[in-house]
Amino acid sequence: MEAERRGRTDGLGSVIRRHRRWAPVVVLVLLCAIIAMVNPRFIDPFNLVRLLNAAAIPTVLVMGATFVILMGSIDLSVEGVLAVSAVLASAMVANNFTSADFGLWAVPAGILLGLAIGGVNGVAHVTLRIPSFMTTLGIGFVAVGVATAILQGDTVRISDKGFRALSLERILGIPAGVWIAVAAVLVALFIQERTRMGRWLYAIGGDEATARQAGVPIERTRVMAFAVAGAFSGLAGVMAAAQLGQGHALMGQGRLFVTITAVVVGGTALSGGVGSVLNSVVGVLIVVVLFNGMVLMGLPPFAQQGVQGLLIIAAVAMALDRSRLSFVK
Amino acid sequence: MPAKWKTELVRFIPLITLLGLVALVATIEPSFVRFSTLTVLVSDTMTLFLMASGATFVILMGGIDLSVQAVASMTSVVVAALLPELGVLAVPVAVAAGLIAGAAGGISHTLLRIPSFISTLAVSGVVTTAAFLFSNERSINISGETRDAHLAWMVGEFAGVQAEIWVGLILLLVLLFVQIWTPIGRFCRIIGAGEQAAIASGIRVDRIKVYAFMLSGATAGFAGVMMAARLGSGSPTLANEFLLPSIAAIIVGGTALTGGVGSVWRTFIGALIIAVVRIGMTFVGVSVFAQQIVFGLVLVLAVAVTIDRSKILIVK
Amino acid sequence: MSRAVSAVLEVSHATKSFPGVVALDDVTFEVRANEVVGLIGENGAGKSTLLKVLTGVYPLDEGEVLVNGESARLRGPRDAFDHGVAMVFQEQSVLITLSVAENIFLGREAEFTRGGVLLKAKMHAAARVELQKVRLDVDPATSCADLTFAQRQMVEIAKALSLDSRIDGDIVVLLDEPTSVLEAKEIELLFEIVRDLRDRAAFIFISHRLDEVLAVSDRVYVMRDGAIVGEMASADATTEKMHELMVGRALQHEYYRENRQGEPGEEIALSVSGLAAAGFTDVSLALRKGEILGIAGVVGSGREDLARALAGLAPISAGEVSVNGRPVRLTSPSDAVGAGIGYVPRERKVEGIVAGASVVENMTMASIDDFISLGIIRHGRERKVAQSWIDRLRIRTPSTETMVGSLSGGNQQKMVLSKWQIAGSSIMVLDHPTRGVDVGAKEDVYELIRDMTDQGLSIILLGDTLEELIGLSHKILVMRDGRITATFDAPVGAKPEQIELITHMV
């Protein structure tokens, strides 16, 4: 009876809560509509393809970041892992730095390297019992450091056409990089929905103590999540190398905060337990569309950061379901 | 008794770590422990400490301030632009600008209930844009005379020691005072340790939070002034690459990222640990290209050693 | 011998100590196949410790746990589960971030996994079977966030019962205060379910509602001070007898210091009229100076919501509150504190204390402004006041600088009470003030409550038990479904009976 009575008084609130899930999508649609009205060139197929292309690498990055954030942890090693995987991949295909020419073997190699570094992140975090913020920060430094040490400040230039096709080749008029990103989303969605690890991420982020009592292997799941996140960052590194035709130690610069912003704007809570990789795809699109729109509207580059900052606050304020959070940190 | 000793020991682990690192570098390269070398090292570290000092309060609260580097860059521009006109008064203006930026991060965090991670990140973008606008997208030089006239107290020398060190020590004392003797300092820690109990006791938690972000903005602003004074110019990107080291300094000092445990003096030690690792590597002869690898590893190890796990149940 | 064989779960000569406390003292306890065993005792009597031993959370100092007559070393709830012992936790362990099916099978997904792929359809089908057992008609894919508390409790029970189709032989289900969030109808349903499943499972039923225990169980154990002090067939037991065993004496009026129950003053300290908020409507009451006003009601009656609204922790939608004749607006806890209302929360560890802060910091938390001059916290003055309260309330703490988290529950609660007295609160809202407080310290708390009223403080009390509520209060309001349904005067010598209150509660 009590429950019914409450249900009734909360009726409106719960309707809003149920629909709040869709807030990021609403933000995205509104944003597109406004930009298209101001500048119709936005919906030009050319621009739309450019947009998708710009979203490809961030999309791959947020897949892993979402898994980690769902646990309530954070992965700051994104830039480092991306850089070192890009350097490895570019050094394995035909290039001006090494005499290697392993062709597409560079792809699994880059992913595996990312997986390994992610695994180190997880193992250090779990066994040393230090916050993931610090382990991934430190190991991110190490990864950039390794790339720097190998190249001594140089840049690897790729001459392998087949490898570059991974990003540039068009299939159905859309660059291959976008298709790779779509595949990455499907894989991530599969992991999230159809594997034990995926479901355990939600359990750990929701209440770690209870999950442990139920027999969820917390440590193993944490390590696996960081490893998977690393693998996605590694794939992003390979894609970046293919897109830019080069590999260097600073390839990842500026990627980290875009990644985390996209995850949060998409509606995944930094406190863990709530969210989805699909949310993060929407988050990436919001960030990319916003950026594209500002360029189309002719905003000077320096002003873009400011506008982006303001709009991110607005988007998060709208999208975040705070009814489940008693307080926010 | 031994249990008490142990807790006392845990308290001083960051300091012990620092001394151990100094000793380590010194055994390999004795010239490291010369007075002049060490004072240069400490004075070089003060900008990092300034930047991390106020942010310590935010982390004590369990929040995070990602806007410190953007704020410091912005105030470097402000002070460089206003110094010729306002003289030394440009310094409080710049610090006030930082304070306002901090307040913006804190207010958007508390009022809109969005995580401080996001609110301060967004404020960074806004502040950077403001700095670009203010500086017309270029760096602003501070002439030698202007600097000597108005900023000598900050970058000169006093009693045979670099002025930066005196400034840093005075700020440390002021912030320790705030931490121990004022309600803001105490409640930052209490909020970090038990926010709901603080709310139920009638503490105006949101107000304290905004104050902490303002403090963080002001010290970051002050750090920007010191950077501009040392480098003789201000630029909208001057403090880039300072954000993560400043957070690292706070954590390596032993302040918990989850809040509730920590101190400004720990951040002072943490900043020095980071400086000793960085400079020490050069002394020991680690190649420039490999330094970042060592730095990252030492960072993880330093946190593993200095963090007090007894007060943290679940590590995220 | 035959008895030993038929015992599915057994504890023999179990002893467990914690620093300073013997939590279990040579306890021998058994559950036979197809039996419902009641376990009663006051808070702190050792029930929780016994449960934690049975589920492998605590290892025993001495004695052993036997499952189906064989000595078993249980390493945790999961291990106990695999041995056929399932626990329904008092504090809900349903994860609202997961679906119903995922909660039921959390940690045991392997059985629905083929080649690393989780077969959701199969899992949902299995969940439906389990949900049927508890007659909960929800889609297994529903997120638990969208369920009511009672439904979540049923999911929790379904999770425990899912053991039955997965273990050969008998299972034992531990129900720790399962009725505390349930309505009368749901409690009846739960009992039916328990009776239905008896041929497949044995139950241990823990509740502080003695009538419930008698209604559902075959046999009852009574615990006090870490020991089993009585074991009887339910048919032979009466509420009075169990009560006597639990408390160790017949109900004594001295226990609640009824001799110190004075006449409240004439002035109205707190008056509430037509108050409404989420969980209750149209509540009016008047609290006199020096009066203890008890509020009775089951969970969900709205009494806790009322307490939180008065503490400024829940938004008020209608009505007026006046303190000492002056109207006050309670939009935040700081408003309530400013108006002189102190709140002692039910969840002490969350809202009552800051475990990681010192005793003195906790004590002056609500009144720090009184200790500040020229913007500076006067540590000396603060410590002096704290020390005087430590002495006065006999709070056992090594010093004023000790972390509150390391004190015992009773001492923590005394410290919370002193916090509000230091803040000069004239009205105290006590929400389960003796929860998690051991028996000895409980009497200290009662003594303190009487001291406070002697000094003219007025108290709104949500008691841990009805008996406590009746023993302490001058006057009792009963709430049901968000409204006040009855008012009783409770003067010394003419206190209402529990049953009189209960008829208005359910």
Decide: helix, strand or coil at residue A313: helix
Residues of chain A neighbouring B121 (CB-CB closer than 8 A): 257, 260-261, 309, 312
The candidate with the shortest Cα–Cα distance to B125, out of A66, A301, A267, A289, is A301
Counting one residue from chain A and one from chain B, the pairs whose CB atoms sit within 8 A come to 164
**Confidence at residue A14, expressed as pLDDT on a 0 to 100 scale:** 57
CA-nearest residue of chain B to A325? B113
pLDDT in tens, A125-173: 999 888 888 899 999 999 999 998 888 888 888 888 888 888 888 888 8
Tell me which of B59, B64, B112, B129 to substitute to probe the interface with A (most A C-beta atoms closer than 10 Å). B129
Instruction: For residue C272, name the pLDDT band (cuts at 50, 70, 90).
Output: very high
Nearest to A305 among B109, B128, B300 (CB): B128
C443 to chain B nearest CA, in Å? 25
Put simply, the answer to whether B129 touches A303 (Cβ < 8 Å) is yes
β pairing state of C475-480 and C292-296: parallel
**A68-77, B272-281, C94-103, C173-182, range with the lowest pLDDT:** C173-182
**Confidence at residue A10, expressed as pLDDT on a 0 to 100 scale:** 47
What whole-number distance in Å separates Cα of residue C19 and Cα of residue A178?
62
Put simply, the answer to whether B193 touches C368 (Cβ < 8 Å) is no
Tell me which of C97, C105, C120, C182 to substitute to probe the interface with A (most A C-beta atoms closer than 10 Å). C97
**Confidence at residue A325, expressed as pLDDT on a 0 to 100 scale:** 46
**A158-167, B199-208, C47-56, C206-215, range with the lowest pLDDT:** C206-215
CA-nearest residue of chain B to A142? B293
Res. B302: pLDDT tops 70: yes
Q: Which residues sit opposite C32 in a β-bridge? A: C7
Q: Which amino acid is at A99?
A: S
**Confidence at residue C90, expressed as pLDDT on a 0 to 100 scale:** 65
For residue C272, the surrounding DSSP H or E stretch is: strand C268-277
Nearest to C97 among A2, A10, A274 (CB): A274
C439 to chain B nearest CA, in Å? 25
Any A CB within 8 A of B293 CB: yes
Q: What percent of chain C has pLDDT over 70?
A: 95
**B208-217, C86-95, C392-401, range with the lowest pLDDT:** C86-95
What whole-number distance in Å separates Cα of residue B68 and Cα of residue B70?
6
Q: What distances in angstroms separate CA B153 from CA A80, B46, B159, one per listed residue?
A: 40, 14, 12
Q: What percent of chain B has pLDDT over 90?
A: 48
**Confidence at residue A279, expressed as pLDDT on a 0 to 100 scale:** 92
C21, two tokens: 């406390």
Q: Which residues sit opposite A95 in a β-bridge? A: A158
Put simply, the answer to whether B198 touches C365 (Cβ < 8 Å) is yes
CA-nearest residue of chain A to B198? A327
Residues of chain C neighbouring A273 (CB-CB closer than 8 A): 95, 97
Eight-class DSSP state of A158: B
B81 lies in some domain: yes
Res. B242: pLDDT tops 70: yes
Put simply, the answer to whether C151 touches A213 (Cβ < 8 Å) is no
Are the C-beta atoms of residues C180 and C11 closer than 8 Å to each other? Answer: no
Own/partner pairs, C370-379, CB within 8 angstroms, 24+ separation:
C370/C422, C372/B183, C375/B182, C376/B181, C376/B182, C377/B180, C377/B181, C377/B182, C377/B183, C377/B186, C379/B181
Instruction: For residue C324, name the pLDDT band (cuts at 50, 70, 90).
Output: very high
The candidate with the shortest Cα–Cα distance to A217, out of A82, A121, A148, A126, is A126
Own/partner pairs, A54-57, CB within 8 angstroms, 24+ separation:
A54/A288, A54/A291, A54/A292, A55/A178, A55/A181, A55/A284, A55/A285, A55/A288, A56/A167, A56/A175, A56/A177, A56/A178, A56/A180, A56/A181, A56/A239, A57/A177, A57/A181, A57/A236, A57/A239, A57/A240, A57/A243, A57/A255
**A106-115, A189-198, C255-264, range with the lowest pLDDT:** C255-264
Enumerate the domain spans of chain A. Answer: 23-321
Any A CB within 8 A of C107 CB: yes
Mean pLDDT of B197-222: 94
Query: Which comes out higher in pLDDT, residue A271 or C98?
Result: C98
The neighbours of chain C, by the rule of 3 or more Cβ pairs under 8 Å, are A, B
Nearest to B197 among C312, C351, C379 (CB): C351
Half-sphere exposure of C315 (CA within 13 A, CB side): 1
Half-sphere exposure of B74 (CA within 13 A, CB side): 32
Put simply, the answer to whether C366 touches B201 (Cβ < 8 Å) is yes
Any C CB within 8 A of B66 CB: no
Are the C-beta atoms of residues B216 and B52 closer than 8 Å to each other? Answer: no
A47 to chain C nearest CA, in Å? 38
Estimate to the nearest angstrom the gap between the alpha carbon of B105 and the chain centroid: 17
Put simply, the answer to whether C96 touches A324 (Cβ < 8 Å) is yes
Res. C416: pLDDT tops 90: yes
Residues of chain A neighbouring C105 (CB-CB closer than 8 A): none
Any C CB within 8 A of B174 CB: no
CA-nearest residue of chain B to C308? B200
Residues in chain C: 506
Any A CB within 8 A of C142 CB: no
Tell me which of A287, A305, A308, A323 to substitute to probe the interface with B (most B C-beta atoms closer than 10 Å). A305
Enumerate the domain spans of chain C. Answer: 1-84+169-249, 95-166, 251-340+426-434+457-506
Put simply, the answer to whether C355 touches B202 (Cβ < 8 Å) is no
Residues 6+ apart with CB under 8 A from C299: C180, C181, C182
CATH class of C1-84+169-249: alpha beta
**Confidence at residue B1, expressed as pLDDT on a 0 to 100 scale:** 46
Tell me which of C57, C106, C163, C180 to substitute to probe the interface with A (most A C-beta atoms closer than 10 Å). C106
Query: Which comes out higher in pLDDT, residue B130 or B5?
Result: B130
Residues of chain C neighbouring B263 (CB-CB closer than 8 A): none
Query: Which comes out higher in pLDDT, residue C107 or A4?
Result: C107
- The tally of domains found in chain B comes to 1
The candidate with the shortest Cα–Cα distance to B214, out of B98, B90, B70, B111, is B98
β pairing state of C268-277 and C70-72: unpaired
pLDDT in tens, A12-70: 555 555 666 788 888 899 889 999 998 888 888 889 999 999 999 999 999 999 999 99
Res. C207: pLDDT tops 80: no
Any A CB within 8 A of C280 CB: no
**CATH assignment of the domain containing B255:** 1.10.3470
What whole-number distance in Å separates Cα of residue C502 and Cα of residue C506?
6
B5 lies in some domain: no
Put simply, the answer to whether B183 touches C372 (Cβ < 8 Å) is yes
B282, two tokens: 């050069």
Put simply, the answer to whether C356 touches B182 (Cβ < 8 Å) is no
Tell me which of A130, A290, A299 to substitute to probe the interface with B (most B C-beta atoms closer than 10 Å). A130
Instruction: For residue C3, name the pLDDT band (cuts at 50, 70, 90).
Output: very low
B269, two tokens: 């030690």
CA-nearest residue of chain A to B296? A138
CA-nearest residue of chain B to A74? B316
B1 lies in some domain: no
Any B CB within 8 A of C370 CB: no
The candidate with the shortest Cα–Cα distance to B50, out of B9, B104, B91, B1, is B91
B126 lies in some domain: yes
Residues of chain C neighbouring B183 (CB-CB closer than 8 A): 368-369, 372, 377
Residues 6+ apart with CB under 8 A from C109: A196, A199, C102, C118, C123
Q: What percent of chain B has pLDDT over 70?
A: 95
**Confidence at residue A4, expressed as pLDDT on a 0 to 100 scale:** 37
Nearest to A205 among C97, C117, C481 (CB): C97
Residue ranges in A160-267 assigned as alpha helix (H) = 161-168, 176-194, 196-206, 208-213, 218-244, 255-265
Instruction: For residue C255, name the pLDDT band (cuts at 50, 70, 90).
Output: confident
Put simply, the answer to whether B200 touches C313 (Cβ < 8 Å) is yes
Mean pLDDT of C81-90: 83
**Confidence at residue A299, expressed as pLDDT on a 0 to 100 scale:** 85
Mean pLDDT of chain C: 86
pLDDT in tens, B100-113: 999 999 999 998 88
Residues of chain C neighbouring A204 (CB-CB closer than 8 A): none
Phi, psi of A257 (to 5 degrees): -70, -30
Mean pLDDT of chain B: 88
B151, two tokens: 């900023």
Nearest to A316 among B114, B133, B258 (CB): B114
DSSP string covering B55-82, please? HHHHHHTT---TTHHHHHHHHHHHHHHH
Residues of chain A neighbouring C96 (CB-CB closer than 8 A): 206, 324
In which domain, by residue range, is B222 found? 12-309
Mean pLDDT of A111-123: 96
Are the C-beta atoms of residues C87 and C137 closer than 8 Å to each other? Answer: no
Residues of chain A neighbouring B63 (CB-CB closer than 8 A): 329
Give CATH for domain C251-340+426-434+457-506: 3.40.50.300
**Confidence at residue A9, expressed as pLDDT on a 0 to 100 scale:** 40
**N-terminal to C-terminal alpha carbon distance within chain C:** 45
